[in-house]
Amino acid sequence: MKNTYLQLAQMVSGALVAVLLGIHIAVQQSSVILGFFGVRVADPLAFSSMIERARQGTWVGIYISLLSLGLFHGLNGLRNILLELNFSAATMRVLTALIIVFGIIFLALGTYAPLVLLGR
Amino acid sequence: MADIRPRQNNLGIAGWIWAGNYKLERYLYILHRVTGLGLILFGIFHLTATTVFRVQGEAVWKDTMAFLDNPLFRAGEFLVVVAFAFHALNGLRLIIQELGFALGKPIPPIYPFKDAPRRKRLLTLIIMAAVMVLVIFFFIDFSAGGWG
C-alpha cells in the first residue's frame, strides 16, 4: 500500500516539476526568446536580476516548491530503479535511509540560500 | 520429483540495453531512466552552484558564471534541456497511459492480434514529435544566445 501511494506521489510530483521547471527554464532563456521578437530584457543570469527575483516571495516559493518536488521525484525515481536490481530487503532499507538523508541535506542546502537572499 | 526453480531471467542493468520484442516503447523506457539519472546528477551540480556560490556575493557569482560560460558547459546545458524535454513529455505519456486514457476501446482477441504497444503507438509518435519540436526550438534558442 505504501508503494501505491509513492507511485501516485511520483506521478503528481512529476507533473508539477514539469510545470515549475518549464517556468524556470523559460525565465532563464527569456532574454534570448524575447530578444528574438525584438524585446530587450535584463540578463536573467546577472547578479542584479538574480537578487531581484530572490527578494520576491513568489519566486522564493516557486524555487523552494521546485526543489522539494524535484528532490522527491528524482530520489524516489532512483529508489524505484534500485528496487528493480533485486537487493536484499536489509540492503534496500539501508539504501532508502541513505536516499532520505541525502534528500534532507540537499533540501536544507537548497532552502538556505533563497531564505538568506530573501532577508538581504 | 524434479526440483522446480524459477527461471533466472533477471538481467539486471544489462537487461536495460536489450529491448527484445518490445522495440520503441522499451527504448523510450530506457531513455526515460537514463535522462532521469542525468537530470538528478545535473540537479546536484546546479544546486551546489546556485547555493554555495550565490550567497557569497556578486564577485564570486560573476567568477562562477565566467567559469561556466564556455562552449563545453553551454553544450552540456543544451543536453540538459533536451533531457528535460524528453523526460517531461515521455512522463506525460506514461501518466496518460497509466490512468487509462488514449488506449482505445477493448477489442476481441482475434488473430492477427494487435498488441498493446502498437495500439498506443500513435500517442507515442505524437509525443515524440512534440519532443523533436522542442529540441529544434531550444537548438535555435541556444544558437541565438551563442555557445559560449
Are B84 and B91 in contact, with CB atoms under 8 Å apart?
A: no
Distance from CA of B10 to the nearest CA of A (A): 8
pLDDT at residue B28 is higher than 90:
yes
Smallest Cβ–Cβ distance between B61 and the set A15, A47, A106 belongs to: A47
Is residue B119 a part of any domain in this protein? Answer: yes
**Inside any domain, residue B1:** no
- The CATH number of whichever domain residue B86 belongs to comes to 1.20.1300.10
Distance between CA atoms of residues A7 and A2, nearest Å: 9
Using the Cβ of B23 and the Cβ atoms of chain A, whether some distance falls under 8 Å is answered with: no
Let me know if residue B60 belongs to a domain: yes
**A18-68 pLDDT per residue, tens:** 999 999 988 887 777 777 777 777 788 888 888 888 888 898 999 999 999
The answer as to whether B14 is a domain residue is no
- Does B105 have pLDDT greater than 90? no
When mean pLDDT is compared across B56-60, B65-69, B100-104, the lowest value belongs to B100-104
Please tell me the predicted confidence (pLDDT) of residue B58. Answer: 86
Grid coordinates representing A26?
523559460
Name the more confident of B55 and A40: B55
Question: Using one digit for the tens of pLDDT, what is the confidence trace for A102-116?
Answer: 999 999 999 988 888
Q: Is residue B70, in this structure, part of any structural domain at all?
A: yes
d(CA B109, CA A65): 46
Residues of B in contact with A71 (CB under 8 A): 43
Rounded CA-CA distance B97/B85 in Å is: 18
Say if residue A11's pLDDT is above 80: yes
Residue-number span of the structural domain to which B127 is assigned? 22-103+111-145
Which comes out higher in pLDDT, residue B23 or B8? B23
Structural domain includes residue B57: yes
Query: Based on the structure, what is the number of domains in chain B?
Result: 1
Alpha-carbon gap: A17 to the closest alpha carbon of chain B (Å): 9
pTM as predicted? 0.87
Average pLDDT over residues B84-88: 97
Contact residues, chain B, for A70 at CB < 8 Å? 43
CB distance from B33 to chain A under 8 Å?
A: yes
Domains assigned to chain A: 2-118 (1.20.1300)
What is the four-CA torsion angle of B42, B46, B47, B51, rounded to 10 degrees? 170
